[in-house]
Amino acid sequence: MQITGKTVYNDFEGGFWGIRGDDGVNYCPDAVLPVTLQLVGLPVVIQYERSSVVSFQQWGKMITILSIKKL
């Protein structure tokens, strides 16, 4: 699946990066975003699949990013 959105930093639960999709959905990657993409509000396009990982962050839809590019 593919979405476009913007990177967001959440400072709760120890802090983590996520993506707020242009579709209004929050997406929580199951791995850390690359340092070069850790900028608040950075427009990105991602290819992803649903993740089977369970997270304690409880923020958004858990995903595995297959590819990510800044727009």
3-state SS string for 9-43? EECCCCCEEEEEECCCCEEEECCCCCHHHCCCCCE
- Fold observed for domain 2-70: OB fold (Dihydrolipoamide Acetyltransferase, E2P) (2.40.50)
pTM of the predicted protein model:
0.89
pLDDT tens readout for residues 9-63: 999 878 899 999 999 999 999 999 999 999 999 999 999 999 987 776 778 899 9
Q: Are 18 and 27 in contact (CB under 8 A)?
A: yes
